[in-house]
Amino acid sequence: MENEFKYEDYKKTADWLLSRTKHQPEIAVICGSGLGALAERLNQPQAFDYSDIPNFPQSTVPGHAGRLVFGYLNDKCCVMMQGRFHSYEGYPLWKVAFPVRVFRLMNIHTLIVTNAAGGLNPDYEVGDVMLIRDHIFLAGLSGNNPLRGPNDERFGERFPPMSDAYDRVLRQDAHFIWKQMDQERPLQEGTYVMVGGPNFETIAECRFLQRLGADAVGMSTVPEVIVARHCGLRVFGFSLITNKSVLDYESREKANHEEVLLAGRLAAEKLEQLVCLLVESMQPPSKNTF
């Protein structure tokens, strides 16, 4: 489905938010399943329910609170989404990524995306954190893309490159910070593949995705990243490995959403620490791409 909104619709939402908060955020964070506690770290918080924000979709998934929270991490002004939107909720991809263009019009320069994902890489364990180095967008390869339809040059060019979607410098910074945190498990780095959901993958599908080169699989994130890069935002992303994908027909294991939320709660402290330290050290992009 092509985008029904015009530039003016995004601007209306951005102006509505900016007129109701004194915060001027420079960094946006999208919190995935079970990771919404990141927003509780914000100082001087101000929250808006999605239902009160003009044009905003509604989050319907357990573990997604459905609030936009402004505040400070140390001296950096941020806005965090406690809950995102998914195509399996019935939203077209352009609407899944709607908030990203709103962030762009609020003069945010960096987007941090987080998600819960299944581990396809046999070296990964539940509770591992994987920096997203690259992604595979199965829906996009078949023509379903959040940028589908007429292009508005005020947001970005018609054919945006994705070979540098996930910022290399921020990934390097995260590795340095992780070492300083002295964690038992290494900080992983790999390729995330997005599937449509809401069902978890079959064994055959997991084997197929693994052979494609994917290290982790989930049902979100990529539409927001594509739109963010299209409109010039710097992107950093990570996946929390909340379950190991079932690859053996003899296995009795089954993925479930409750397991995903539990893993998120158990890993919350190290994830919050990583994001806080990364944001604290973050400088604006050297080249303004807006």
Following DSSP, what letter does each residue of 134-149 receive, concatenated?
Answer: EEEEHHHHTT--TT-S
Proportion of the chain in helix, strand, coil states, percent, rounded to 5:
35, 25, 45
Nearby residues of 56 by Cβ (< 8 Å), 6 or more positions away = 13, 50, 68, 98, 99
Nearby residues of 276 by Cβ (< 8 Å), 6 or more positions away = 41, 73, 74
Residue 26 CB burial class (10 angstroms; 0-12, 13-18, ≥19):
middle
Cα 18 from Cα 81, distance rounded (Å): 16
- Distance between first and last Cα of the chain: 27
Cα 272 from Cα 42, distance rounded (Å): 11
Torsion angle, alpha carbons of 52, 5, 96, 48, to 10: -20
Which of the residues are catalytic?
33, 64, 86, 88-89, 116, 219-220, 243, 257
Cα 30 from Cα 36, distance rounded (Å): 9
Residues belonging to the chain: 290
